[in-house]
Amino acid sequence: MMPVQSSASRPFSPDNLQNSSELTLNGSIYKIRDMGSFAFIILRTARYLVQCVFDPQKCDADLNTLVENSSIKVSGSIVLDKRAENGFELHLNYITVLSSPYAQMPISINKKGLNISLETNLENRPYILRNHKQRAVFKLQEGIVSGFRNYMLANGFTEIHSPKIVESGAEGGANIFKLDYFGEKAYLAQSPQFYKQTMVGVFDRVFEIAPVYRAEKHNTSRHLNEYIGLDFEMAYIDDMYDVMAMETGMLRAVMEELKANYSQELKLLNVDLPEIDFIPALTFMEAKGILKESGRKIKNYYDFEPDEELAVSEFIKKEYNSEFVFITHFPSSKRPFYAMDDKVDPDYALSFDLFFRGLEVTTGGQRVHDYTEQVQKMTDKGLDPAEFESYLMIHKYGMPPHGGLGIGLERLLMRLLNQQNVREASLFPRDLSRLSP
């Protein structure tokens, strides 16, 4: 019987240096630069690269026993040096090797630029992610999620966890994964739509951060088959503009979070954060009109082509200096059955997308809350209300006016970093041909 005591120390941060002159660090040897009479050892710690100076006169260790990617524990003296990355060098006194690699990496990760194809990167992801720029992408992903969540919590939203194994798809269509559930047919959730609406009836405002599954059969640079959805849903709205305003405030908070707590990754990846003052909104038909005026041939009056999203974004950037634009009032026929139609012109839904730097990153809108209206809309769309009995309970027994949205985390991150392919913004992407790592 023994009480449990910890000897593990918190990961290194330069903010914690204070006035100490000695420092003990854990880390992986990122690079050794042998300068003849001494050597630089770059130590990769949880978040920082730390430049250590190894002088055989002062440190009781044999340089020849040290290899890249060994995990070591070091102690030394802090020597302030403004040229060094964290404002100091560590002059080593002790080195303990904790673990050594079995082999050296086929692809060196300590180069400034990796210079490998996306295919090679993804095949070797388990160690490629150890590159300091590769991993910085996912610290920023953490920052976006933190900014989103903190804003939601501060605005009275309750965090929920809804099941991903479901009886039926919420978004319709064929792009849904099927599953054998103890002999029954089941699916992987295409969105938490039914559940977040249900929980709006319980908590008024809810949000969820969870995986979303789309069995899209096309291989593009902007689709993933499993991604993280940032979803929220809110009651007591006057109209969909309340939802759009909430998203605007949230995005502003996300950028502030990144600026405040992720400055080192922003600098490392040379990220140009968007300024969000206000986000302009165009109706679907206004946007199509602008495209037409600019001399484009409009083929599709139900949705946007990728190059149209880009052109609308560029127009808005030039005219309003905004990197975001809302598109509202999409054609009702292309929006899901839970979207509320515009009473003024029911051919259009009170539904919107958000484009960021030419890419759709959000779909949202006001939802139907009235039972009779929802049953009618299902029937109009050729759906059988009897199949949605438990979902319709919420309308039947009273729902407040409400709306919400879903954001694709990886798409938001991808545009923030101006990446070419959404797979770069996912730790272990799932696509048509990729199930591993």
Q: Which of residues 245-284 bind a copy of itself (CB under 8 A)?
A: 245-246, 248-249, 278-282
Whose Cβ is closer to a copy of itself: residue 61's or residue 206's?
206
Contact 355, 303 (CB under 8 A): no
Q: Please choose, out of 81-89, 112-120, 338-346, 399-407, the segment that lies near a copy of itself by the rule CB under 8 A.
A: 399-407
Contact 191, 226 (CB under 8 A): no
Known binding residue 411? Answer is yes
CA angle 109, 115, 116 (to 5 degrees): 85
Least distance in angstroms from the C-beta of 409 to a copy of itself: 8
Q: 227-252 burial string, b = 16+ CB within 10 Å, else e?
A: bbbbbbbbbebeebbbbbebbbebbb
**Which residues, 6 or more positions from 424, have their beta carbon under 8 angstroms from its beta carbon?**
118, 121, 137, 414, 417
Residue 399 lies near a copy of itself (rule: CB under 8 A) = yes
Q: Is 122 helix (H, G, I), strand (E, B) or coil?
A: helix
Residue 160 lies near a copy of itself (rule: CB under 8 A) = yes
Give me the 49-78 binding string for a copy of itself, x by CB under 8 A, dash otherwise. Answer: --------------------xxx-x-----
Subset of residues 216 to 235 that bind a copy of itself, contact rule: CB under 8 A: 217, 225-226, 228, 234-235
Least distance in angstroms from the C-beta of 82 to a copy of itself: 25
Residue 203 lies near a copy of itself (rule: CB under 8 A) = yes
Least distance in angstroms from the C-beta of 37 to a copy of itself: 28
From 75, 158, 175, 421, residue interacting with a copy of itself (rule: CB under 8 A): 158
Least distance in angstroms from the C-beta of 99 to a copy of itself: 6
Least distance in angstroms from the C-beta of 261 to a copy of itself: 10
Contact 133, 268 (CB under 8 A): yes
Give me the 78-117 binding string for a copy of itself, x by CB under 8 A, dash otherwise. Answer: --------------------xxxxxxxx------------
Whose Cβ is closer to a copy of itself: residue 28's or residue 38's?
28
Distance of CA 152 to the CA centre of its chain: 16
Subset of residues 324 to 383 that bind a copy of itself, contact rule: CB under 8 A: 326, 369-372
Please give the DSSP secondary-structure letter assigned to residue 90.
Answer: E
Please give the DSSP secondary-structure letter assigned to residue 431.
Answer: B
Whose Cβ is closer to a copy of itself: residue 306's or residue 437's?
437
Q: Please choose, out of 5-13, 76-84, 263-271, 298-306, the segment that lies near a copy of itself by the rule CB under 8 A.
A: 5-13
Integer Cα distance of 359 and 9 in angstroms? 43
Contact 25, 10 (CB under 8 A): no
Whose Cβ is closer to a copy of itself: residue 20's or residue 57's?
20
Least distance in angstroms from the C-beta of 83 to a copy of itself: 26
Size of the residue set binding a copy of itself (CB under 8 A): 125
- Please identify which residue in the block is written with the tokens 């779909």: 363
Subset of residues 285 to 314 that bind a copy of itself, contact rule: CB under 8 A: 286
Strands (E), 236-291: 281-283
Known binding residue 223? Answer is yes
Long-range contacts of 38-45 (CB under 8 A, 24+ apart): 39/63, 41/66, 41/74, 41/92, 42/110, 43/72, 43/74, 43/90, 44/130, 44/132, 45/11, 45/12
Q: Is 286 helix (H, G, I), strand (E, B) or coil?
A: helix
From 238, 295, 299, 384, residue interacting with a copy of itself (rule: CB under 8 A): 238
Residue 165 lies near a copy of itself (rule: CB under 8 A) = yes
From 49, 179, 273, 310, residue interacting with a copy of itself (rule: CB under 8 A): 179
Please give the DSSP secondary-structure letter assigned to residue 119.
Answer: H
Beta bridge partners of 79: 89
Whose Cβ is closer to a copy of itself: residue 8's or residue 344's?
8
Residue 37 lies near a copy of itself (rule: CB under 8 A) = no
